[in-house]
Structure 1
Amino acid sequence: MDEHQGTAMKKKSSHASAITMNKDLEHWVSSEEQADISKVIQERLKDKKPKGKCDICRVHPAKSICIKCGNSVCSSCYFTMVGLCQNCLSKDTIEKWKNKKTDWKKILEVDWVD
Structure 2
Amino acid sequence: MHATVGTGARLRAALSRWTAGRAELEAQDAQERAARMGGTPCAQLTGRQQANVSGTLRTVTLRPRAGVPALEAELFDGTGTLSVIWLGRREIPGIVPGQAVRVEGFVGCTDGRKVVYNPRYEIVPGAGR
TM-score, normalisation: structure 2: 0.31
Q: Which has the higher contact order (CA 8 A, sep 6+)?
A: 2
Larger radius of gyration: 1
Normalised by the length of structure 1, the TM-score is 0.34
